[in-house]
Structure 1
C-alpha cells in the first residue's frame, strides 16, 4: 500500500472566515466555510491524494477541552492508517500554539502533523490562507519531519517554541530562541538542520476523562504591585493548579510568591514560567520551573500532569 495520503482536518478559524467586504480584514466572522471549500480554493492541491474531515467549526478563541479531545481522537485515528503519510489541521491563530503543544504531548506522532491558519478571512482581496494550506500539505508530505509543527507564512515552527507575536500581520508567528525549523520556498521545503522536538507520547488514555472533569488550572501574572489576592480567590474557587507568569527569570513579588508557596503547601500544583517572549526559567526557590515553555503551554503541561494523577 502506498503511503502518500494526506488527511486535512478542519476546525474553523479565520482561514475559514468570511466578511461582507473583501477589503475588510478585521470585521469578519470566523469559521464560516468548510474544509472542503478551503481545499477547492487551491487548484494546486488537485494533484495531491487528499482526504478531509470537518472535526469542528469554531473561532479558536473559543477552543475548549472537548474540542481538543475530538481533534486528538481524529488525529490518532488517521495517523494509525498505514496509507496516511501525514495530517494537516486548519485552525484559528488565537490558540494555535496551545493546540499544537497539546497534540505534541498527547500524541508525539511519528508522522508529520502540520497545523496551519490564516490572519485574513477567505473572502479577503489578498488572503493568506490558501498559500498557508498549500505549504502545510507540502510539509505534511515531507518524510523529514515527525511530530507536530506549524506551517505559516512560509515558515515552519516546532510546537514547543512557536508563539503568536503579532496581532494583525500575516507573518504573525515566530519561534523563540531562533528555533525555527525551516521554510517553504516555491513548493520546496528547506530545513535548517533541525528536527521537531522529541517528546514521549502520553497517549490518548491521558485525556479520556470527560472534558468537564479536567483539572482547573489558571494563569496569574507578576507585575508592579502584584499581591496574593488573586491566588486567594482562585483557591476559594477550588483551583487544582496555578501557572505564574513571572517577570524576567520567573521572578515574583514577595507577596505573590508567599501566596503561591502557601497554595503549593496546601496541595495545589504550581509552575513558574515567565512573561518574557523567550528564554527559560532557571530553577530557583521552592516553586518548580516550567523550563522554556510559555505560560499557556506550561498550563497544558500542568493539566496533563494532573490528569495522570487522578
Structure 2
C-alpha cells in the first residue's frame, strides 16, 4: 500500500479561469480530490491523509514537525510500502532535505508537486502524482526523492531552478536517480541513503528553534545585515557567497565578528551548482549544500546543542 500525505501547494491550487496559470490560489483542494483527478490510480491500493493545507512559500517549522511525524508513523506500518507527499514547489527542496536528514527511510518517500494549478487547461499535477505513486511502488526504492516532470531527483541534489517551466527542478550535479517513462520507472543511479538523526532532533517547540538566516554576497556587500542579525539575536548565519563561497571583505569581517560572538557561520554559494571548498583560514564551508539546505543543516546542528 502507498500512503499519500497532502500539504497543499500549487498542485492543489485553483483559479477562476483555466487560462490562468499564475493568478491562482494555492492549497484549495484536498489530497482526495487530487487522487480523484488521476483515473489511472483508481485500481491502486492507496490511503490518503491531509497533513497540512498551505502554500509552500509559507512552510514553517510546526508543519515540518507534523509532516516528519506523519511520515515516521506511516513508515512504521508494515503494510505501507512507500509514501508520496504532495507539496508546493517553492520550498519542496527544503522539506525534502529535512526529511532526508531526520528520517532517512529504508522505504521510499517521494515528494511531488506541480507548476500549474489543478484548474489549468493542461495541469501537470495529475501526471506528476501518478509518476510519484509509481516511484513509491518501485521494488528496491528507498530514501527521500522528488518525482517531477518525469525525472526522479534525490533530496541532496534537487533544486528548483526555474520560476515558471513545468520542468522546474534539476539535480545540481546532473545525476538523476531515475526517469519515469510511460508509467515505467527506469532506475539510473542509486537510491539515496543516510543515517537518520531521528525526530527527537526536531522535537523542540517551534518557538524554541534556533534562528538561522541567509545573507547574500554581491557587488558592494557590506556587514550591515550581519550586524542587524546579530543585534536581533541570531543563532546562525549562512552566507551565500559568490563563486567558491567568496565574500566581500566588509561582509566577511562582519561574519567573523558574529562568529567571535558565538554565532555559527557557514559559507555556501549563490551558484546553481558546485561545492564550496573548505580551505584553511576561511569561514567553515557548507560543502555542496545550497544556502537553503545549509540553513537546515545548521539548524539541526544547533538543535543538538
Deviations 1:153-198 (A, max 9, x none): 0000000010001101100101001122110000100011x11332
The offset of 1:294, in angstroms, is 0.2
Match for residue 11 of structure 1 among 4, 7, 10 = 7
Match for residue 257 of structure 2 among 255, 258, 262 = 262
1:118–1:129 contact (8 Å) kept in structure 2: yes
Q: Are 2:81 and 1:51 aligned? A: no
Q: Are 2:115 and 1:95 aligned? A: no
1:261–1:286 contact (8 Å) kept in structure 2: no
The two structures have a TM-score, normalised by structure 2, of 0.99
- Please name the residue that 2:116 is paired with: 120
Q: Distance in 2 between matches of 1:224 and 1:207?
A: 37
Gaps of 5+ in 2: none
Q: Distance in 2 between matches of 1:195 and 1:14?
A: 29
Match for residue 36 of structure 1 among 28, 32, 44 = 32
Q: Are 2:101 and 1:105 aligned? A: yes
Q: Are 2:242 and 1:271 aligned? A: no
Q: What does residue range 111-150 of structure 1 map to in structure 2 within 5 Å? A: 111-150=107-146
2:268–2:289 contact (8 Å) kept in structure 1: yes
Match for residue 23 of structure 2 among 13, 24, 27 = 27
The offset of 1:287, in angstroms, is 1.0
Match for residue 281 of structure 1 among 272, 276, 280 = 276
Match for residue 253 of structure 1 among 248, 252, 256 = 248
Q: Distance in 1 between matches of 2:212 and 2:112?
A: 27
2:6–2:52 contact (8 Å) kept in structure 1: yes
The offset of 1:51, in angstroms, is 0.3
Segments ≥4 residues shifted beyond 3 Å: none
Match for residue 225 of structure 1 among 220, 224, 227 = 220
- Please name the residue that 1:308 is paired with: 304
The offset of 1:212, in angstroms, is 1.2
- Please name the residue that 1:73 is paired with: 69
Q: Distance in 1 between matches of 2:53 and 2:172?
A: 29
Q: Distance in 2 between matches of 1:300 and 1:197?
A: 18
Q: Distance in 2 between matches of 1:273 and 1:219?
A: 10
Q: Distance in 2 between matches of 1:286 and 1:308?
A: 24
2:145–2:192 contact (8 Å) kept in structure 1: no
Match for residue 162 of structure 2 among 166, 172, 175 = 166
Gaps of 5+ in 1: none
The two structures have a TM-score, normalised by structure 1, of 0.97
Match for residue 176 of structure 2 among 180, 184, 208 = 180
- Please name the residue that 2:82 is paired with: 86
| Structure 1 SS opposite 2:252 | helix
Deviations 1:235-265 (A, max 9, x none): 0000000000000000001111111111111
Q: Distance in 1 between matches of 2:241 and 2:83?
A: 36
